[in-house]
Amino acid sequence: MSRKRLLISVAAALLLAIGATACMSDTETVTQTVTVGETTAGESSSGKTVTIIASVPPTDHGWLGAISKNAQAAADKFDDVDFELVQAADADSQAQQIEQAIAKKPDVIVVLPQDGAALTPVAQKAQRAGIPVVNIDRLFTAPDAATATILGDNYQIGVLAATYIGDQLKCQGNVVEIQGLAGISVTTDRTKGFTDTLKKKCPGGGIKIVASQPGDFNPDKGLTVMENILQAQNSIDAVYTHDDDMAQGVVQAIRNAGRDDDMFLTGVGGSQDAMKQIKAGGLYRATFLYNPNMAATAVNMARLIALGQGFGELVPPEVPRMLVVPAAVVTKDNVTKYEKYAFN
Amino acid sequence: MTTPAQTSEPGRGAALAQRVRTLELQEYALAIVVVLLFVVGAILKPDTFPTWDNVRNMLTQASVVGVLAIGMTFVIATAGIDLSVGSMVAAAGVFGGILVGSDGTSSLIFILGAIAFATFLGSVNATAVAYGRVVPFIATLAMFSVARGLALLLNDQLPVSLLDLNGGSFGDPRPFSLLWFGNGRIGGIPVSVYVFIAIAVIGWIVLNRTRYGRYVVAVGGNREAARIAGVPVRRIIFSVYVLSGFLAGISAVLLCARLGSASPVSGNLYELDAIGAVVIGGTALAGGRATIVGTFLGVLTFALIFSLMTQLNLSTEIQQVTKGLIVLGAVLLQRPEARY
Amino acid sequence: MTKVLEVRNLVKEFPGVKALKGVDLDVLEAEVHCLLGPNGAGKSTLIKCVSGAVEPTSGEILFMGEPLPAGDPAGSLKRGVATIYQELDLVPDLSVAESIFLAHEPRRGPLLVLDKMYRESEALLARLGHESIPVRAKVGKLRPAAQQIVSIARALSGNVRLLIMDEPSAILDEAEISTLFDVVRRLTAEGVGVVYISHRLDEIRRIGDRVTVLADGRTTASGLPATTPTGELVELMVGRKVEQLYPDRPVGTDRVLLEVRGARRLPAVRGVSLQVNAGEVVGLGGLVGSGRTELLSLIYGLDQLEEGEILVEGKRLRSGGPRNAIRRGLGMAPEDRKSQALVLDWSETKNVTITDLKRFSHVLLDVRKERESARTQLRALNTVPDDPDRVVRLLSGGNQQKVVLARWLLHGCRVLLLDEPTRGVDIATKAEIYRIIGNLAESGLGVLVVSSELEELAHICTRVLVMRDGEIVAEVDGKDATEHELLRHAVAPTDAPVLVEEVV
């Protein structure tokens, strides 16, 4: 990383850290950035048309579906943006689609890679061809693969979850982890944040992770995996799941076994179903916001990069190299605040 | 161990008798694997594995794929294959869900709708293979994609909540309401297990004791000979894909009943588990030899492996390697001619 | 005269079964020595011992006076023992020359000397009188008869002194068989000893010098002259008196069961009309490619007629595939039992009942009744062994054929179409099948038989129709039919054997 970029990313991180400590205003900061972007756009809407091609994995998951919708909605707000969204079936076909996108010579390419490592080479190819790449959520594995990156803080989610669960259980109890899709950065980060924090927060070893199995972000996998774990474990106090959609299956398994009074569950994402259940109270106690609105931010960033502009707040105004969207804990106490950001 | 009977001369007495005996041995081989897995589980987790509760749990988990596997047995018996059953399960569930509507409470509409839709998709496969002369692999591969797309399309990629289809009583679903099929019990045994076993028994009877079943195996065993002997080959081939679709509909009902929702991403790769169960059970991929008992045991094998490995909390990588090795072992135990 | 091969008291035991229990055989230089015996007698095992594919348990095999290295096929080949199996072991994609010299190509260092290979191949083929076979053509494109010649040339390329031929005439028609016999005579003229295995007694007489008969792993007669009467030979094979090979010729009635009018389907069938009456056995003879099998397919509904019509008992048979034909009373035993008639993994019972399952099913199949009915039919045909659960793959060719016939007997049909019913069937079972056909005719059926063995047609048919190039060129009354007469009609005046199917 060049020094200039380092300075800018530190500046951006500081900016957001200030927002994060205020806790309540995280999303507002992000929203504000969007507003800034809009006014900037207003100044130069008479200018050139910006072509943006966005490549996302198949939207067979609520969160990914929301990503696509938000990206499209953000692009629609501008009249100088020519936007094309392509969905891929898997990592290989996504690589091919990006290759085709390169040939079309857009101004910017936005990518949420099915697999960050697998798609790094093609992203580097785009960058070398002079097309800037904006990376969403799942990280590429080389620094020169993207001009700007926006992602949720998966590690932080793990941290927040461990903190919440540790507090609720008073550092004593059995915990089950239902992970996401094995092998991708999202999953490994959420697990690592969780386990690291538990070690620090509850050093006595009072909290034991008695089972940790992947649920593939899929509700029926979540159902069957949880059923088996319920068989194997007589005493479970809390369940940390990596995803709200998947958690629906986990919840069903717990309810079917009649053990919903014995434990509580946390999810990730911020889906409407999750918020509803948190509001109602009971088994589903918390979720950690992982807002698919980052896609809208990504499109805005892409546009700014194409227009050669930046974020007004930064001096000099540039598009930050990395934007980390912090998570927030959503519980019964504050759910009404976050409801409007919930996705399907 | 090579049999020396390479000549076509008959009356090889003992050598042949042994070959006939090994025919039965191969079905026993899988039963041995099932027992072995159970014993291993009982040893490694003596408090939780060998319990009635766990057996119930495994059988319930087995029923969704099990129903699919029974249908797959018929398809593979004709030397065909159906790669689309998992996607059809998802599509059928979502279709049933939107039919019922967001406020609906009619379990009957859901069940009939899901089954009808899946049967319809199965008939599309059937038409392509039997009359369009499309190779089964390709035809059902296309449906694999199309059905998945439909599942996502029908409700805008969203799952449909079905928690209200409980016959009016939340928490204790009324008999024959949708959720009852998932969580209800008769005599302590989950309803879905009854459904699975009933379908397996009916499947056995049809395959082994009806004219239709005999025709199915004949078509796979020697299609040309079957034709010349007067078997209505095309009609038989058509029917097995419709049957596969029909059973996918039933499987969708069971799955949605357990989940309490119809999810467009469910059924992922179920076809591989179904095909795997059928093949390790002893039904020949090349057709002509089919066994429902084998499929049943194959389904149990997979359910046992999954349950055991999850309960042992093995990491994904180890799970995948172990599952592959067990499947390989089960196949190797079969006599050479049965392997393909 | 030098003995090329001497086999003394050869015994071969496999685990559980004694295939050879003491076999003696003598083959002289320049003679054609025929080996006769029913299936299971041990002919194949004997051949495998001599060629080195299998190691004998005890006994002696002397080749040119020297013991042959046991269990060493390459060694035997080098010494000069060559074997031509029924399933010619040729690679379809290699050229003729490459096949002839496979594994011992002329080389200079590591490189092949191609023109030497081509020249020598041509020379070898000329020795056999077949210089017309192009040495560069791919083996897969040749007619089976020509492929066989290539196999023989391959044997010659290794300086063969003993050539063993296992049922070479099974894949040939009459004209090709005559050609083959010429080749064999050329070989013996060069001093090669030939062991010729065949089921066809007429061939033994034509080409053989001496005969050895095997039965049940033993030599029952050795070195008999080829002129020994058929009855005696059959008795030696079967171990009992077989009254006669052929039953009485069926006479036939006037009631027309099957009528074919102007049937046409190019390119194989060019306008055929015929008639089969109740009580008749009508033969359909001709060379390979004359369209006989295709005609049967048209009658049975496997192919669609382009022109013409088929009438069964006076009523027109509409096209509807085999199911329709079966409903109207036709039955068919196809040419290749294994690939077209039987489900090899199934039991005898299931193969017998497949056409007639309706009889046993009232919702569910009555498996016991099914088995009993099948057993009755199989017993009536004297199927060996008497075990309706035996998997059909394990049966001999003759018994497999009986299973197919039992199927139609069970179902009960009016006209039976048989395509090469005795191909690959041993003598004793052949006699039984002839009797079965005769009985069927007597009980009122009409039978239409396609066969390449003109001798057989000449003996069992009421009348014989001869086909050539898709048309019927002659009708010969059974009483007047001889093999020679039928062949005369089957072969066009200027027929040279066609060897290559495609011009390369």
- Taking CA–CA distances from C404, the nearest residue in chain B reads B229
d(CA C188, CA A7): 99
C7: left (phi over 0), alpha (psi -120 to 50) or beta: beta
Q: Which residue in C366, C378, C16 sits closest to B21, CA to CA?
A: C16
Contact B313 A210 (CB under 8 A): yes
What is the enclosing helix (H) or strand (E) of C481? none
Residues A198 and A216 reside in one and the same domain? yes
d(CA B218, CA B312): 44
CB of B57 within 8 Å of a chain A CB? The answer is yes
- Taking CA–CA distances from C400, the nearest residue in chain B reads B10
d(CA C372, CA B206): 21
Say what the pLDDT of residue B10 is. Answer: 45
Question: φ and ψ at A147, to 5 degrees?
Answer: -80, -35
Residue B93 lies in a domain: yes
Q: Output the furthest CA–CA distance in chain C (Å, rounded).
A: 76
CB of A313 within 8 Å of a chain B CB? The answer is no
Residues A195 and A274 reside in one and the same domain? yes
Residue A305 lies in a domain: yes
> What are the chain A neighbours of B45 within 8 Å (beta carbons)?
232
Place of tokens 């026993």: B28
> What are the chain B neighbours of C345 within 8 Å (beta carbons)?
221, 288-289
Residue A227 lies in a domain: yes
Residue B300 lies in a domain: yes
Percent pLDDT > 90 in chain C is 29
Contact B310 A225 (CB under 8 A): yes
pLDDT of residue A101 exceeding 70, the answer is yes
Q: Which residue in A276, A217, A211, A220 sits closest to A249, CA to CA?
A: A220
Supply the angle between the helices A219-232 and B292-311 in degrees, to the nearest 10. Answer: 70
Radius of gyration of chain B (CA): 21
Residue B197 lies in a domain: yes
Q: Which residue in A188, A244, A210 sits closest to B310, CA to CA?
A: A210
Q: Which residue in A136, A171, A168, A149 sits closest to A329, CA to CA?
A: A168
Alpha-carbon torsion, ordered C293, C298, C301, C302, to 10 deg: 50
d(CA B127, CA B239): 9
Contact B229 C322 (CB under 8 A): yes
Contact C344 B222 (CB under 8 A): yes
Residues A142 and A10 reside in one and the same domain? yes
Alpha-carbon torsion, ordered C52, C54, C55, C56, to 10 deg: -110
Contact B268 A218 (CB under 8 A): yes
pLDDT of residue A19 exceeding 50, the answer is no
CB of B19 within 8 Å of a chain A CB? The answer is no
Residue C66 contacts residue C77 (beta carbons within 8 Å): no
CB of B24 within 8 Å of a chain C CB? The answer is no
d(CA B10, CA C392): 11
Residues A94 and A224 reside in one and the same domain? no
Say what the pLDDT of residue B92 is. Answer: 96
d(CA C504, CA C500): 9
DSSP-based three-state secondary structure for C107: strand
> What are the chain C neighbours of B215 within 8 Å (beta carbons)?
357
Residues A131 and A250 reside in one and the same domain? no
Residues A243 and A304 reside in one and the same domain? no
Place of tokens 């191969």: B26
> What are the chain B neighbours of A216 within 8 Å (beta carbons)?
268
Q: Which residue in A206, A343, A336, A337 sits closest to A267, CA to CA?
A: A343
Q: How many CB pairs under 8 A join A and B?
A: 90
Tell me how close the Cα of A70 comes to any Cα of chain B, in angstroms.
15
Residues A88 and A12 reside in one and the same domain? yes
Find the angle CA(C470)-CA(C471)-CA(C476) to the nearest 5 degrees: 130
Tell me how close the Cα of B71 comes to any Cα of chain C, in angstroms.
20
Across residues B53-57, what is the average pLDDT?
88
Say what the pLDDT of residue A46 is. Answer: 44
pLDDT in tens, B286-329: 888 899 999 999 999 999 998 888 888 888 888 889 888 887 87
Residue with the bigger pLDDT between B10 and C198: it is: C198
- Taking CA–CA distances from B338, the nearest residue in chain C reads C345
CA B251 to chain centre: 9
Q: Taking all residues of chain A, what is their mean pLDDT, rounded to a whole number?
A: 83
Indicate the DSSP class of residue A184.
Answer: S
Nearest residue, CB atoms, B313 vs list A60, A211, A252: A211
Residues A266 and A297 reside in one and the same domain? no
Say what the pLDDT of residue C275 is. Answer: 93
Say what the pLDDT of residue B9 is. Answer: 43
Residue A341 lies in a domain: no
Residue B8 contacts residue C86 (beta carbons within 8 Å): no
Domains of chain C are 3-238 (3.40.50.300), 256-329+413-490 (3.40.50.300), 352-411 (no CATH)
Residue A330 lies in a domain: no
Contact B218 C302 (CB under 8 A): no
- Least confident range from A11-15, B54-58, C16-20, C298-302: namely A11-15
Q: How many domains does chain A have?
A: 2
Contact B5 C14 (CB under 8 A): yes
pLDDT in tens, A106-159: 999 999 998 888 899 999 999 999 999 999 988 888 989 999 999 888 899 999
Residues A94 and A170 reside in one and the same domain? no
- Taking CA–CA distances from C324, the nearest residue in chain B reads B230
Tally the C-alpha atoms within 13 A of residue B176's C-alpha that lie toward its C-beta: 3
What is the DSSP annotation of A261-278?
TT-EEEEEE-BHHHHHHH
Residue with the bigger pLDDT between C443 and A36: it is: C443
Residue A162 lies in domain: 155-289
Kindly indicate the confidence band of residue A16, based on its pLDDT and cuts at 50, 70 and 90: very low
Q: How many domains does chain B have?
A: 1
Mutate to test the interface with C, among B228, B283, B285, B339 (most CBs of C within 10 A): B228
Q: What CATH number does residue B102 fall under? A: 1.10.3470
Say what the pLDDT of residue C369 is. Answer: 93
Residue B258 lies in a domain: yes
Q: Which residue in C415, C435, C270, C246 sits closest to C331, CA to CA?
A: C415
Q: Where are the alpha helices (DSSP H) in C80-194?
A: 96-100, 114-127, 144-157, 174-189
Contact B12 C14 (CB under 8 A): yes
Contact B210 C326 (CB under 8 A): no
CB of C368 within 8 Å of a chain B CB? The answer is no
Residues A111 and A176 reside in one and the same domain? no
Contact A219 B259 (CB under 8 A): yes
Q: Where are the beta strands (DSSP E) in A238-327?
A: 238-241, 264-269, 284-289, 322-325
pLDDT in tens, A248-273: 999 999 988 889 899 999 999 888 88
- Mean pLDDT, consecutive 10-residue segments, chain C of 504 residues? 86 80 89 83 83 85 83 75 79 88 81 87 85 87 82 82 86 80 88 87 85 85 81 74 74 90 89 93 87 92 91 88 92 91 92 92 90 92 87 87 94 93 84 91 93 86 91 88 81 57 39
Across residues B226-242, what is the average pLDDT?
96
Across residues A225-233, what is the average pLDDT?
92
Indicate the DSSP class of residue C347.
Answer: B
CB of B224 within 8 Å of a chain C CB? The answer is yes
Instruction: List the structure tokens of C388.
Output: 């309706």
- Least confident range from A48-52, A133-137, B84-88: namely A48-52
Say what the pLDDT of residue A65 is. Answer: 82
Contact C365 B211 (CB under 8 A): yes
Percent pLDDT > 70 in chain B is 88
CA A98 to chain centre: 22
Across residues B190-197, what is the average pLDDT?
94
d(CA B9, CA C43): 10
Residues A296 and A221 reside in one and the same domain? no
Kindly indicate the confidence band of residue B8, based on its pLDDT and cuts at 50, 70 and 90: very low
CB of A87 within 8 Å of a chain B CB? The answer is no
CA B84 to chain centre: 12
d(CA C76, CA C83): 10
Contact B61 A224 (CB under 8 A): yes
Decide the pairing of beta strands C269-277 and C415-419: unpaired
CB of B78 within 8 Å of a chain A CB? The answer is no
CB of B223 within 8 Å of a chain A CB? The answer is no
Kindly indicate the confidence band of residue B16, based on its pLDDT and cuts at 50, 70 and 90: low
Residue C51 contacts residue C84 (beta carbons within 8 Å): no
pLDDT of residue B18 exceeding 60, the answer is no
Q: What CATH number does residue A41 fall under? A: 3.40.50.2300
d(CA B29, CA B320): 22
- Taking CA–CA distances from C38, the nearest residue in chain B reads B9
Nearest residue, CB atoms, C40 vs list B9, B18, B289: B9
Contact B261 A234 (CB under 8 A): no
Say what the pLDDT of residue A324 is. Answer: 87
- Across A280-294, B138-152, B153-167, which has the greatest mean pLDDT? B138-152
Place of tokens 């669609």: C304
d(CA B252, CA C231): 72
Kindly indicate the confidence band of residue B340, based on its pLDDT and cuts at 50, 70 and 90: very low
CB of C384 within 8 Å of a chain B CB? The answer is yes
Across residues A25-52, what is the average pLDDT?
48
Residue A23 lies in a domain: yes
Say what the pLDDT of residue A35 is. Answer: 34
Residue with the bigger pLDDT between C500 and A71: it is: A71
Q: Provide the chain B residues 161-190 that lie in CB contact (below 8 A) with chain A.
A: 161, 182-183
Residues A228 and A247 reside in one and the same domain? yes
Tell me how close the Cα of A285 comes to any Cα of chain B, in angstroms.
20
Residue A332 lies in a domain: no
Residue A337 lies in a domain: no
Beta carbons within 8 Å of C429's beta carbon, 6+ residues apart: C38, C39, C396, C397, C398, C399, C401, C402, C422
d(CA B300, CA B66): 8
Residue A137 contacts residue A160 (beta carbons within 8 Å): no
Instruction: List the structure tokens of C256.
Output: 């027309």
> Which chains have 3 or more CB–CB distances shorter than 8 Å to chain B?
A, C
> Does an interface of 3+ CB pairs under 8 Å exist between C and B?
yes
Nearest residue, CB atoms, B221 vs list C16, C343, C355: C343
> What are the chain B neighbours of A229 within 8 Å (beta carbons)?
310-311
Instruction: List the structure tokens of A299.
Output: 């499109």
Tell me how close the Cα of A232 comes to any Cα of chain B, in angstroms.
5
Residue A191 lies in a domain: yes
Classify the C-alpha dihedral C494-C498-C502-C504 as positive or negative: negative
Q: Which residue in C37, C385, C41 sits closest to C216, CA to CA?
A: C41
Tell me how close the Cα of C433 comes to any Cα of chain B, in angstroms.
19
Instruction: List the structure tokens of C298.
Output: 């048209």
Say what the pLDDT of residue A236 is. Answer: 94
Residue B69 lies in domain: 54-339
